[in-house]
Structure 1
Amino acid sequence: MASNQQTRPGIGELAQDSASGRVGVVMGEVGGRVQLRPVRGGREWDAMPGNVVRLSAREELSARLAARNGNSRVGL
């Protein structure tokens, strides 16, 4: 595999839906679509597999930090 190719993120990993720009946790695949759930929890959404991309280490850290900060503001 070439170094510029990325494998699709697995269940439980963070990924971005490039069509919407949203970041979520990969929950599974149903009916040919990848199901993602927001990092802070909430309702899943479906994304086309070709639009689901793995986050870089920096992007993942940023997404997790934003979720943690959001949770601390609401007392979680």
Structure 2
Amino acid sequence: MKAGEYVIDTRDGRVGQVMGHEGPCVQLRPPGGGREWDCPPDAMRPAPPGEVLRARVRALNRDARLP
């Protein structure tokens, strides 16, 4: 996967944007921003556009509720 692409971490179903590679793992970041996490390349699959859109809407809704 290339930097900027969206994938699904098949271990827990989270959608993440590929930020880079560190050793054997790929760093992913949630679509609305936030803390990166490491994911092994064999635990990723391309995210369909609908999944990316849902993740972005969830992030926007979450941010709108913050004081």
RMSD value over aligned CA atoms?
1.6
**Identity, % of aligned positions:** 45
CA distance in 2, matches of 1:64, 1:42: 12
Larger radius of gyration: 1
So what's the TM-score if we normalise by structure 1? 0.73
Secondary structure in 2 aligned to 1:53?
A: strand
**Which of structure 1's runs of 4+ aligned residues deviate more than 3 A?**
none
1:72 aligns with 2:64: yes
TM-score (ref. length: structure 2): 0.81
Q: Which moved more, 1:26-35 or 1:39-48?
A: 39-48
Distance of aligned partners of 1:40 and 1:57 in 2 relative to their CA distance in 1, 3 Å threshold:
closer
The alpha carbon displacement at 1:34 in A equals 0.6
Aligned residues: 67
Unaligned stretches of 5+ residues in structure 1: 1-7
Q: Trace 1:1-76 onto structure 2 (pairs within 5 A).
A: 8=1, 10-74=2-66
